[in-house]
Chain A
Amino acid sequence: MKELINSPLVHVCLTLVVFIFSKKLQQRYKSPLLNPILITIAVVIGFLLVTDISYEDYKENTQIISFWLAPSVIALGYALYSFLEEIKADFKKIIFSMLAGSTTGIVSVFMIAYLFGASKATMISLAPKSVTTPIAIEVSTQMGGISSLTVAFVIVVGVLGAIFGQSYLRLIGVNDSKSVGLSLGATAHALGTASISERGPDFSAFGGLGMALNGVITAILAPWLIKLLLFLLY
């Protein structure tokens, strides 16, 4: 029995079923707090703690799910292509907003963590929080952060962005697909982008663009910014 409980079949099945169920739950009650990702993560963690199965085993068993993370990032290229003309028309403005957003994100998370007394490793692990997992891991490891901790932060930012991002943007009067997509994609990567996909393909496309540009810019800027900040602070 123990073998079955710790098998790819059971772990993948559990993950899919809980995800489908929590998606139904969200559709029925329409509360952003009932985020399917959040619920599924919580239920799976509960299951692993109760059955005394390690995260390493679960991770191994569900590789068939996480394998599709990279292809789904590639699929954003398809969404981007559909809106290429609109992007070309606004190229300078888009690049400018992304440079500003990326720098703001890295410097602010680093400085706030420092002011509130976080450890150096935590600060470095936080710096690439807004980008998609593979890039975040690279930046974090390269600069002396803890890569698995970075993955945790990336997920937390993504889930928070997916839950509260749209409401906040509405509050500050940002509603068009271009601004919403770019800002959520740049803040909360694929999870933010996924949360606005229901509003239309243009939202997905700009979300994908925001995520891609912020990923590229952060990959290039973050190492230098982190070095500079560490030099100034320590």
Chain B
Amino acid sequence: MTLIKQIAIFLGLWLLGELISYYSHLPLSGSIIGMLLLVIALELKLIKKKDVKDVSNFLLNNMAMFFIPAGVGLMCHYRVLKLEWLPISVAIIVSAILVLTVVGLIMKKRS
């Protein structure tokens, strides 16, 4: 029963996030709004930490796995990837390195 309750809390936050996203026209996805709602609800003690703990840990520990179905979709873009692999891979790799460097060094330098 506790697991069902915890899952219901998550789905409820998600639904609320989707509704807010839909009606507010904010450029934010329902899940990101749901995340912010969870922080606010925990801070205001509307939701107790123990009421989301187990499911949170389960979801956080397995997050990577939930991406697999989307990742398999790579197979549909064989043609574009073959044609433009050079600009795509250079752009992705260099840009990722730049972001890591900029954020990492700003945080490190000023702390």
> Interface digits, B29-53 against A, CB 8 Å rule (1 contact, 0 not)?
1111011111100110000010011
Q: B100 — which chain A residues lie within 8 A by C-beta?
A: 161, 165, 168-169, 183-184, 187
A226 within 8 Å of B (CB atoms): no
A200 within 8 Å of B (CB atoms): no
Partner of A81, one of B38, B70, B72, B95: B38
Contact B42 A77 (CB under 8 A): yes
B4 within 8 Å of A (CB atoms): no
Distance between Cα atoms of A134 and B111 in the complex (Å): 32
Tally A residues with Cβ within 8 Å of B: 110
Contact B63 A134 (CB under 8 A): no
B1 within 8 Å of A (CB atoms): no
Distance between Cα atoms of A93 and B103 in the complex (Å): 10
A5 within 8 Å of B (CB atoms): no
Distance in Å: Cβ of A118 to nearest Cβ of chain B: 4
Distance in Å: Cβ of B109 to nearest Cβ of chain A: 9
Distance between Cα atoms of A194 and B39 in the complex (Å): 20
A129 and B95 contact, Cβ closer than 8 Å, known pairs A76-B35, A135-B32: yes
Q: A72 — which chain B residues lie within 8 A by C-beta?
A: 59-60, 62-63, 66
> Which residues of chain B from 54 to 90 have any CB-CB distance to chain A below 8 Å in the complex?
55-56, 59-77, 80-81, 84, 86-88, 90
Contact A134 B29 (CB under 8 A): yes
Distance between Cα atoms of A223 and B103 in the complex (Å): 21
> Interface digits, A58-88 against B, CB 8 Å rule (1 contact, 0 not)?
1100110110111111111111110010000
- Nearest A residue to B108 via CB reads A179
Q: Chain B: interface residue count, which band?
A: 35 or more
Partner of B31, one of A74, A93, A108, A176: A74
Distance between Cα atoms of A153 and B90 in the complex (Å): 12
Interface of A is mostly: helix
- Nearest B residue to A162 via CB reads B64
> Which residues of chain A from 97 to 140 have any CB-CB distance to chain B below 8 Å in the complex?
97-98, 100-101, 104-105, 108-110, 112-113, 115-119, 122, 126, 129-130, 132-135, 138-139
Contact B91 A173 (CB under 8 A): no
Contact A134 B107 (CB under 8 A): no
Q: B103 — which chain A residues lie within 8 A by C-beta?
A: 97-98, 100-101, 179, 182-183, 186-187, 210
> Which residues of chain B from 1 to 47 have any CB-CB distance to chain A below 8 Å in the complex?
10-11, 13-14, 17, 27-32, 34-39, 42-43
The contact sample of 20 A-B pairs, CB cut-off 8 A, is A45-B72, A48-B72, A65-B68, A66-B70, A71-B11, A74-B17, A79-B60, A81-B43, A84-B39, A101-B102, A104-B102, A108-B99, A109-B92, A109-B95, A110-B91, A122-B84, A155-B73, A162-B64, A191-B67, A216-B32
